[in-house]
């Protein structure tokens, strides 16, 4: 479906361009024809009552007619020049708009890559076994995760207006609070580990949902 949309837009643009050209050239042609007829009628009605047999009259008429043709050509080329300049400006504006859209699309894809790196951080933390030594690595990883989620959401809320980051921030904050509650324990139970990893899984699922929303937003551009 996506591939069929672009040709339809191009066909509509071509139709609009043909209509525009038609509405420009027809009035010009009609105006030039009326101008020529009017000038010829004015010439004969003013200077001659009929068809002259004097060559000098025809020379004079030829000079006059040449001036009329030159005036019509001048008007025609002025209009064409203005129209061509307008087309060039329109094409330049369209190219600038397309470049901006491509730049924005590339920027959004890079932000999606940033989010995927944050998700990989969660997977790294989840692979660390909870223990006295392991808790230090887990704690550092959670602190980094917290900073990354806050920074990412603050920077990209305005960029992805249809994506809500509040749930992810809230879950990371709950994980930070739980981390502080179990800090300093000499031994960690299986329940502690399950609770900790359930927080991580919940955050991972939330961020993956955000990544899908962002990817859908990119595909729709």
Number of domains in the chain: 2
Same domain for 106 and 83: no
Q: What pLDDT is attached to residue 47?
A: 59
Q: What pLDDT is attached to residue 67?
A: 80
Q: What pLDDT is attached to residue 196?
A: 93
- Predicted TM-score (pTM) of this structure: 0.60
Same domain for 210 and 115: yes
- The range of the structural domain enclosing residue 122 comes to 102-219
Average pLDDT rounded to a whole number, residues 46-61: 66
Of 30-34, 117-121, 146-150, 199-203, the range with the lowest mean pLDDT is 30-34
Instruction: Give all strands (DSSP E) within 83-134, no chain letters.
Output: none
Q: Judge whether 130 and 192 are in contact, CB under 8 Å.
A: yes
Q: What pLDDT is attached to residue 149?
A: 94
Angle between helices 190-219 and 55-126 (to 10 degrees): 170
Q: Looking at 97, 116, 146, which one is the last position of a domain?
A: 97
Q: Percent of the chain at pLDDT above 90?
A: 35
DSSP character at residue 131: S
Same domain for 215 and 108: yes
> Tokens 């491509």 identify what position?
102
Instruction: Give all strands (DSSP E) within 147-207, no chain letters.
Output: none
């Amino acid at each position: 479906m996506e591939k069929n949309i672009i040709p339809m837009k191009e066909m509509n643009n071509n139709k609009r361009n043909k209509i525009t050209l038609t509405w420009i050239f027809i009035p010009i042609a009609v105006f030039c024809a009326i101008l020529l007829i009017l000038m010829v009628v004015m010439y004969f009605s003013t200077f001659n009552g009929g068809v002259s047999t004097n060559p000098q009259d025809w020379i004079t008429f030829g000079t006059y007619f040449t001036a009329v043709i030159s005036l019509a050509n001048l008007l025609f080329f002025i209009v064409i020049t203005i129209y061509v300049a307008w087309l060039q400006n329109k094409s330049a504006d369209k190219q600038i708009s397309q470049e901006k859209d491509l730049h924005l699309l590339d920027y959004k894809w890079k932000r999606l890559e940033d989010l995927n790196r944050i998700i990989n951080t969660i997977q790294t933390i989840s692979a660390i076994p909870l223990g006295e030594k392991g808790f230090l690595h887990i704690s550092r990883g959670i602190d980094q995760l917290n900073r990354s989620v806050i920074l990412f959401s603050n920077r990209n809320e305005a960029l992805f207006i249809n994506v809500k980051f509040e749930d992810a921030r809230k879950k990371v904050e709950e994980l930070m609070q739980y981390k502080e509650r179990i800090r300093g324990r000499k031994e960690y139970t299986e329940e502690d580990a399950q609770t900790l990893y359930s927080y991580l899984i919940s955050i991972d699922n939330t961020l993956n949902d955000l990544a899908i929303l962002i990817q859908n937003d990119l595909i729709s551009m």
